[in-house]
C-alpha cells in the first residue's frame, strides 16, 4: 500500500515537472514571437487583452551609463495593422507628460516578428507592485487599511487632476488600470494611472454621428454615460468613487453576484436610478467623500481638485514627495528609435481617426537621462521574480474595450 502511494506521488511529481517545462516553453514562444528591440530584450508575458499584449523588457546593456531607457520596462505590443489603440495611447501620454501619477512613456519602436510581421511596441514604466486590483484581491474580505486607501486615492486623484487639466477624460478608470510603481522608500508603492487607450479629448464631439459610443467597463459607468452616452470629466469622478469603495470593502461597487451580468448593472444605473451602496460601517469622512463622487447629477459631482481637499485625505504621509505637478522634471520621454507619425490602416477604426483629430499632437523630446548602477541593482529583483513567475499570473482578459450600444457586455476580472 505504501509502495503504491509512493509510486503515485512520484508520477505526480513527474507530471508536474513536465507541466512546468511546458509552461516555460509556451512563455518562451509567446515572448519571442514579436522580437526584441534594438536596445532591449523582450521578457515574459505579464498581460494580454483585445488591443495588445504586455511584456516585461530589460536592457541588453543594463549598466550602460548612457542608456536612454530605464533598466526594466513594460512593453505593450500589437501587430501594426491592429495597433491603432496603442498608438492613440502613445499620443495621449505624450500630451500628459509631467505628472508622476500618470504612467510614463519612454517611446515607441517597430520590431519584426517571427513570421515577418511588423510589430508596434509602446515602451512604458513598469509597475513592479502589480495593479490595484491585485492588491485588493490580496487584501481578503476586509479590504485595504483606510490609511492605504487614502494614500492611493490621493495619488490617483493627482493623476486624474492632471489628465483633466490637460483636457482629457480617461473613460476607463478601474483598479485593473491603476499600476503600483516602486518608490525610493523600501516596500512602498505609488499608484499611477495607466491604460489610456480609450482616453478622449474632453471637448470632442461627434458631428453627424447618431450612434454614440460607450468606452470602458460598465461596472464603473456613471448615470450620464448610461443614459445620455456622455463621458466627460465627472464620469471619471464617479469611477473614482467606485474604486475607493472597492478598496475599502474588497467588493465590486455593485453586488458581487451580478459581477458578470452587465445588462443588470446598466438597468440599475439607468432605469432604476440606483447608486452603489455606501456601507454604514465606513468612517464618516469616507462616506462624505463617496457621496461627493456618487451624485447622480454630474453638475453636482465634486472635481478632482475638490476631492483632494476633502477631510478624508488629510493627514497622510506623502510618498509622492511633492504635490505640484508642474515641478516634476520631465525626464521620462526620449527619442523614438523608429518614429512614425501614423500607422493606422484599418477601415474598421474610422471613428477612432475622427477622435484623433481632436488630440493635440506633439513630439517626444530628444533629451536623455542616465541610469546609475544603483538603479540597475535595484531592479534586478523585479526582473528575476518576473522571469520565475508561474504562467497563471499572466492575465488574458481584455485590457480595455470600446462598446457601441445597444450591446451585450461581458465583464471580466482582467487587466
CB 122 within 8 A of CB 86: yes
Per residue in 55-94, pLDDT tens?
999 999 888 876 789 999 999 999 999 999 999 999 999 9
Ordered by start, the domain boundaries in the chain are 37-127+328-381, 132-327+400-404
| 303 secondary structure, DSSP code | P
Residue 122 confidence (pLDDT) above 90: yes
What would the DSSP string read from start to end of 147-197? HHHHHHHHHHHHHHHHHHHTTEE-S--SGGGEEEEE-SSTT-EEEEE---T
**Secondary structure class of 343 (helix, strand, coil):** coil
What is the second-level CATH architecture of the domain 37-127+328-381? 2-Layer Sandwich (3.30)
Rounded to whole angstroms, the Cα distance separating 407 from 218 reads 11
Segment 284-311 shows an average pLDDT of 97
Distance separating alpha carbons of residues 358 and 200, to the nearest angstrom: 8
Checking if the pLDDT of 262 tops 90, the result is no
State yes or no: pLDDT of 214 exceeds 50: yes
Burial 254-270 (b: 16+ CB within 10 A, else e): beeebeebbeebbebbb
Question: In 3-state terms, what secondary structure has residue 90?
Answer: helix
Using the structure block, give the residue that is written with the C-alpha cell 472597492: 246
CB 58 within 8 A of CB 71: yes
Weakest-pLDDT range from 70-84, 201-215, 251-265: 201-215
Whole-number average pLDDT of the chain: 76
The verdict on whether 228 is a catalytic residue reads no
Model confidence band, residue 15 (pLDDT cutoffs 50, 70, 90): low
132-327+400-404 CATH = 1.10.510.10
Residue 128 has pLDDT above 90, yes or no: yes
Rounded percentage of the chain residues whose pLDDT exceeds 70: 65
Structure confidence at residue 19 (pLDDT): 57
In the set 172, 320, 355, 382, the catalytic residue is: 172
Predicted pLDDT of residue 390: 37
The three-class DSSP label of residue 105 is: strand
- Partners of 118 in beta bridges: 112
Amino acid at each position: 500500500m505504501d509502495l503504491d502511494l509512493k509510486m503515485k506521488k512520484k508520477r505526480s511529481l513527474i507530471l508536474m515537472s513536465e507541466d512546468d517545462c511546458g509552461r516555460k516553453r509556451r512563455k518562451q514562444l509567446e515572448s519571442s514571437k514579436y522580437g526584441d528591440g534594438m536596445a532591449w530584450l523582450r521578457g515574459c508575458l505579464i498581460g494580454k487583452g483585445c488591443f495588445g499584449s504586455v511584456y516585461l523588457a530589460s536592457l541588453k546593456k543594463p549598466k550602460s551609463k548612457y542608456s536612454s531607457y530605464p533598466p526594466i520596462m513594460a512593453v505593450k505590443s500589437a501587430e501594426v495593422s491592429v495597433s491603432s489603440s496603442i498608438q492613440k495611447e502613445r499620443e495621449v501620454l505624450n500630451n500628459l507628460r509631467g505628472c508622476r501619477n500618470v504612467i510614463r512613456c519612454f517611446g515607441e519602436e517597430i520590431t519584426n516578428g517571427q513570421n515577418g510581421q511588423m510589430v508596434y511596441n509602446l515602451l512604458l514604466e513598469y509597475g513592479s507592485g502589480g495593479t490595484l486590483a491585485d492588491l485588493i484581491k490580496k487584501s481578503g474580505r476586509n479590504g485595504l487599511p483606510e490609511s492605504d486607501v487614502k494614500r492611493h486615492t490621493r495619488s490617483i486623484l493627482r493623476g486624474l487632476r492632471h489628465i483633466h487639466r490637460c483636457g482629457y477624460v480617461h473613460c476607463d478608470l478601474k483598479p485593473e488600470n491603476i499600476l503600483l510603481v516602486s518608490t525610493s522608500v523600501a516596500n512602498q508603492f505609488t499608484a499611477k494611472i495607466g491604460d489610456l487607450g480609450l482616453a478622449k479629448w474632453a471637448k470632442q464631439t461627434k458631428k453627424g454621428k447618431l450612434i454614440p459610443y460607450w468606452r470602458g467597463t460598465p461596472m464603473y459607468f456613471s448615470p450620464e454615460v448610461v443614459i445620455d452616452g456622455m463621458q466627460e470629466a465627472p464620469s471619471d469622478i464617479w469611477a473614482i468613487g467606485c474604486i475607493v469603495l472597492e478598496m475599502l470593502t474588497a467588493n465590486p461597487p455593485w453586488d458581487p453576484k451580478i459581477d458578470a451580468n452587465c445588462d443588470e448593472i446598466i438597468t440599475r444605473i439607468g432605469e432604476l436610478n440606483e447608486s452603489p451602496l455606501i456601507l454604514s460601517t465606513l468612517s464618516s469622512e469616507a462616506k462624505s467623500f463617496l457621496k461627493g463622487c456618487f451624485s447622480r447629477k454630474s453638475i453636482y459631482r465634486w472635481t478632482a481638485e475638490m476631492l483632494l481637499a476633502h477631510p478624508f485625505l488629510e493627514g497622510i504621509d506623502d510618498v509622492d514627495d511633492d504635490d505640484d505637478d508642474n515641478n516634476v522634471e520631465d525626464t521620462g520621454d526620449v527619442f523614438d528609435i523608429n518614429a512614425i507619425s501614423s500607422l493606422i490602416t484599418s477601415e474598421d477604426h474610422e471613428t477612432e481617426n475622427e477622435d484623433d483629430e481632436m488630440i493635440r499632437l506633439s513630439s517626444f523630446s530628444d533629451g536623455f537621462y542616465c541610469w546609475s548602477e544603483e538603479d540597475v541593482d535595484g531592479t534586478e529583483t523585479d526582473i528575476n521574480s518576473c522571469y520565475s513567475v508561474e504562467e497563471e499570473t499572466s492575465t488574458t482578459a481584455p485590457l480595455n474595450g470600446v462598446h457601441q450600444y445597444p450591446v451585450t457586455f461581458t465583464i471580466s476580472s482582467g487587466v
